[in-house]
């Protein structure tokens, strides 16, 4: 019994000594970690402000800040582990082996990182552009290391991985300053083509947002079952696209009768034949 008590006391003294020896290193490492994370946060925030004052592209700004913040945190964690007493040579070798395994497991994440780099190099879109990709459409709000954030017209946030975004089809609606607006209007059989062209010419001239060069186009596109269809095409600034599109639709609906034009709808003529009795 006395031997067991002596052993417990001896172990307690060893643990106390070990704790006293490790306590300063552990406290120092914890303090460095807290202060380091705070400094990194201030650094990335200051970097964003500095780059913003120098009119750096917002797409590049977000990516650089996110990348440097992540890199600095990794270096800080490695330094803190060294302060605690972990042998960094063995740790780096272990980290390399783990990195290989993690890299194979997270190949999709690495593809997203590479996709982010490709997006920033080739610039298929920038922050503020309206794009459509991966079955989603919205305004680009942020480009980070691994993902791109979109805001839809009804204020939803969509997060797309950079890998597929950089390697698959993408439509950028606001890349160019000008854009063509297309309509497909129909009139009833029996209405005059001249009346339709006169109406559309008047509607186009009334809207100062529509360019005169390139010249607007009005042409008969199809003789359909229930209507005579026309293609109408005009050019305008990209920012005016939807305003012109909706206004023209409203003019056609409300003012076609003023030009003796009728908006067609599906019709079916039924002919009844009375059988004569012999």
Segments forming the whole domain that contains residue 250: 178-259
Cα dist from 22 to 130, 202, 216, whole Å: 56, 87, 81
CA distance 197 to 220: 10
> Residue 93 maps to which CATH number?
1.10.287.1260
Helical (H) or strand (E) element with 4: helix 2-53
Query: Looking at the structure, do residues 167 and 183 belong to the same domain, yes or no?
Result: no
Q: pTM of the full predicted structure?
A: 0.61
Residue of 130, 114, 120, 123 lying closest to 164 (CA atoms): 114
Query: Looking at the structure, do residues 61 and 135 belong to the same domain, yes or no?
Result: no
Please state the φ and ψ torsions of residue 190, each to the nearest 5 degrees.
105, -25
Query: Looking at the structure, do residues 235 and 199 belong to the same domain, yes or no?
Result: yes
Residue of 160, 121, 167, 162 lying closest to 139 (CA atoms): 160
Q: Which residues of the chain carry a pLDDT beneath 50?
A: 9
Q: Assess if residue 270 is contained within a domain.
A: no
Q: Return the pLDDT at 9.
A: 47
């Amino acid at each position: 019994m006395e031997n067991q008590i002596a052993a417990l006391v001896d172990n307690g003294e060893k643990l106390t000594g070990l704790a006293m020896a490790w306590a300063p290193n552990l406290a120092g490492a914890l303090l460095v970690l807290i202060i380091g994370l705070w400094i990194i946060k201030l650094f990335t925030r200051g970097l964003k402000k500095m780059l913003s004052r120098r009119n750096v592209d917002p797409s590049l700004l977000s990516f650089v800040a996110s990348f440097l913040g992540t890199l600095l945190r990794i270096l800080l964690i490695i330094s803190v582990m060294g302060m605690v007493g972990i042998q960094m040579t063995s740790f780096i070798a272990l980290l390399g082996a783990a990195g290989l395994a993690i890299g194979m497991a997270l190949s999709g994440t690495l593809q997203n990182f590479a996709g982010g780099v490709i997006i920033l190099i080739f610039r298929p879109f920038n922050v503020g552009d309206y794009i459509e990709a991966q079955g989603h459409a919205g305004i680009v709000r942020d480009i980070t290391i691994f993902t791109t954030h979109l805001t839809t017209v009804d204020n939803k946030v969509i997060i797309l991985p950079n890998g597929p975004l950089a390697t698959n089809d993408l439509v950028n609606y606001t890349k160019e300053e000008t854009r063509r607006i297309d309509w497909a209007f129909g009139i009833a059989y029996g209405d005059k083509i001249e009346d339709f062209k006169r109406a559309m010419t008047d509607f186009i001239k009334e809207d100062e947002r529509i360019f005169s060069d390139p010249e607007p186009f009005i042409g008969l596109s199809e003789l359909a079952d229930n209507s005579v269809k026309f293609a109408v095409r005009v050019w305008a600034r990209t920012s005016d696209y939807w305003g012109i599109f909706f206004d023209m639709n409203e003019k056609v609906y409300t003012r076609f009768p003023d030009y003796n034009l009728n908006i067609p709808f599906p019709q079916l003529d039924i002919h009844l034949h009375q059988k004569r009795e012999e």
